[in-house]
Amino acid sequence: MISSSSDVAVSLDGLGKKFRLTHDRNWTLKATMLAGHRTRYEEFWALRDLSLEVEHGQTFGIIGGNGSGKSTLLKVLAGILRPDEGAATVDGRLSALLELGAGFHPELTGRENVYLNGAILGFTAREIRRRFDDIVGFAELDRFIDEPVRNYSSGMYVRLGFSVAIHVEPEVLLVDEVLAVGDLTFQKRCLDRFAQLKAEGRTIIVVSHDLDMVGWLCDRTAWIQQGALQAVGPSSKVIDRFAIGADPTATTVDAGDEGRPAFERLSPDDLVKSVALIDPNGHPTDAVGSGRKISIRVRYDGQAAGEPVTVALGLYRADGTHVASINSGATTRGIARSDRAPDGEAAGELVEVDYVVSALPVQPGTYELSVALHDASMRRVLERHTHILRFEVSPTGIDPQNGLVALGGTWEAR
C-alpha cells in the first residue's frame, strides 16, 4: 500500500533546536535601533544531538516529562520549527495532529471549515469532496455541519478537527497528546482508527503522557529528557525504564542485601524484617516467569508488634499502575498469638508468612511490591513500606501477548 524506496520513514540526525530566552525582547523597531541589534537573550537548547530512526509502518511513541522537548521534536518533524543543528527528514506525506481544529474559523460553518482545514493540511478540494461524508460521519456531526463552528461544543470542535486530520491519509502521522480530549466513546474510536492506520502500514508517531496507551499502541518508544535521548527500544522496556527513572524514590536506588535492587531499606527497628520472592524450589529470586508459581515471603517481628497483625501486599507495575492488593484478612490474625508458646517464652518472635501464587497472572514487565502491617481489625496501619521490592516478570510461552493480565489461555486448532 505504502511504497517507498527506503525503509526509514523518519530519521533524525544529530538534531538540535535552540530557543532564545529573551529577557527584554525589542518588540519595536525603535528599541532595536537604540539597542543596536543587541537584544539580550539566553540560548536554550530544547533538543540536542538527537539521532534516531523510525521505520515505515512502525508506531513509535515518544515519552518524557513536561518540558522534555517532546512537542518541540514533533514541531520540527512537522516542519513548523527549523532545526538549528543536524537534520530531520520525513519520507512521505505527513499530517500532524498537534492541535485539533487549529485552522478553524469560528464564523464559518462546519462544512466550510472542513474544506478550509483540509486545504491547510494539503488536500485538494476534490480529495475533500470525496471524503466529506466520511469526515462528517466519523465526527458524528451530520446535523450540525452547516452551523457556524462558534456554536459547537468543545467536544464537537475537537471531533471535527480530528476527523479531518485523520482522513488526510498520511503516510506519516504525528500525534501530540490529542487523545486526552473527547469523551470515552470518541477516544475509543480514535484508538480504533489508529489501529486501522497501523494495520494499513502507515507510520504513526505519538507523543503522550499516557504510558498505557503508548505501551498498547506503539511498537517502539523513545524516552526524551531535557532534550536528549535517554532510551529507545521496544515500548514496554523503555516505558519501564522511564517509569522507574521518573520515580523520585528511584534516585536512592541501591543494591539490596541479596544484590537485589531495593528502593527502601529496612531499618532494624522496623517490624518487617524482610520481604522476598521465593521460587518453587524454596530459593530467593528476583525474577519470575509470567504464569509461573511464585511465593512472596514476609518476615516480621510478631513480638514487637505486640498484637495480632494483618499482612497486606500491594502489587504495582513500574509505571505505578495498581495491579492487585491482597491482605491476609483472617489468616494471619492468629499467627502472632499462636507463635507465643504457652510456656510464655517467645521462641519465635519472627513470624514468617508466604503468600503463594500458583500461576502469576501478569504480563512481563517490571513490578513493585509494597507491604503493610495492620492491626487485626485493619483500622490502624502499624507499618507501611511502599516499593520494598522490585522484580521482573519475564515472558513465557511463544505467542506474543500484551496488556495488564496474563490470561493463561492456550490456542487450540480445531
Query: Given the complex with another protein, which of 69 and 365 has the nearer CB atom?
Result: 69
> Nearer Cβ to another protein, position 124 or 325?
124
Cβ contacts of residue 352 below 8 Å, gap of 6+?
Answer: 297, 298, 299
SS3 content of the chain, % helix, strand, coil (to 5): 25, 35, 40
> Smallest distance from the beta carbon of 36 to another protein, in angstroms?
15
Q: In angstroms, how far is CA 46 from the centroid of its own chain?
A: 21
Nearest distance, CB of residue 123 and another protein, angstroms: 7
Residue 393: how many CB atoms within 10 A of its CB? Answer: 21
Using CB atoms within 10 Å of the CB of residue 179, give its burial: 0 to 12 exposed, 13 to 18 middle, 19+ buried.
Answer: buried
Distance CA 286, CA 45 (A): 40
Residues in contact with another protein by the rule CB under 8 A:
19, 27-30, 32, 75, 78-82, 96, 98-99, 102-103, 105, 107-108, 112, 115-116, 118-125, 148
Distance CA(24)–CA(19), nearest Å, equals 15
CB-CB contact of 323 with 357 (8 Å): no
CB of 116 to another protein, least distance (A): 5
Least Å distance, CB 252 to another protein, is 39
Instruction: State in angstroms the smallest separation of the CB of 79 from another protein.
Output: 4
DSSP secondary-structure letter at 405? B
Tell me whether residue 103 or residue 348 sits nearer to another protein (CB atom).
103
Backbone angles phi, psi at 329, to 5 degrees: 50, -115
Q: For residues 222 and 127, what is the distance between their CA atoms, to the nearest angstrom? A: 34
Distance of closest approach, residue 80 Cβ to another protein, in angstroms: 5
Nearer to another protein, 120 or 346 (CB): 120
